[in-house]
Amino acid sequence: MQDPNEDTEWNDILRKKGILPPKEVPKDEEEEELALQQQSVVQTYESMTLEELEENEDEFGEEDEAAIEMYRQKRLAEWKAAQTKNVFGEVGEISGQDYVKEVNKAGEGIWVVLHLYKQGIPLCTLINQHLSTLARKFPQTKFLKSISTTCIPNYPDRNLPTIFVYFEGEMKGQFIGPLVFGGMNLKAEELEWRLSETGAVKTDLEENPKKQIEDKMMSSIRSSLPTRKDSSSEDEDD
């Protein structure tokens, strides 16, 4: 009589058709298969981000919870280390020699805001003050300043202040000349908004602060103008 556990092609066909019972797996093979399954689950944890771990939490059993928590803590530590690594918090001064290293090769995921200025130009001084404030508020963004002619030879003074915005070595925005900044009335919040439009900072401002000022100015102008009723009554008096 043929052994139903024998590993033959005919027995495989009979098993598929349900004529023979499934082949008995030796205990050591079962244990090996279980270990492989557990290993693949662990590899799944390792390949997941923090967000993916949270999204797939329900798919893992209770016995996996300890392993998931371990990998979550590991991922969290890696994320915190990356955040700490890319903390700047102040405006750095560079020369033309530093340009490629500090701007073009700033690193993966790094936004760079570079201010070209000259001493003795009041608007440049004001912008440097605002950038110091923004550098503390947005430490993940790399804020730099450079005297224009040491950075770009013969750079014209009429183009100052100039701000260039880079991301991973690619220019994403530029602001050239005093008119772009609106003169000495420029507020730090307005500059923050302009930079947020390029992507350099993630602002918590809900709308352009300059727009609020313009709206207030327009409403005050409208309120000071005579209404149609007032002007018609004046005509009647005449």
Mind listing the pLDDT tens digit for each residue in 76-96? 776 666 655 667 889 999 999
Q: Is the pLDDT of residue 43 over 50?
A: no
Express as a percent the part of the chain with pLDDT over 90. Answer: 44
**Could you report the per-residue pLDDT of 137-154, keeping only the tens digit for each?**
999 999 999 999 999 999
What is the Cα–Cα distance from 18 to 11, expressed in whole angstroms?
Answer: 10
Q: What is the pTM of this model?
A: 0.57
Of residues 171 and 19, which shows the higher confidence score? 171
**pLDDT at residue 237, rounded to an integer:** 53
| pLDDT, mean over the chain | 78
Counting every residue written for the chain, the total comes to 238
- Going 18 to 23 to 29 to 30, the CA torsion angle's sign is positive
**pLDDT at residue 221, rounded to an integer:** 54
Q: Is the pLDDT of residue 97 over 70?
A: yes
Q: Is the pLDDT of residue 234 over 80?
A: no
Domain 92-198 class, CATH top level:
alpha beta
Q: Is the pLDDT of residue 39 over 60?
A: no
For residues 207 and 197, the answer to whether their CB atoms sit within 8 Å is no
Neighbours of 167 (CB within 10 A): 17
For residues 93 and 146, the answer to whether their CB atoms sit within 8 Å is yes
**Could you report the per-residue pLDDT of 61-79, keeping only the tens digit for each?**
566 667 667 777 777 776 6
**pLDDT at residue 20, rounded to an integer:** 67
**Could you report the per-residue pLDDT of 178-224, keeping only the tens digit for each?**
999 999 999 999 999 999 999 999 998 888 887 655 555 455 555 55
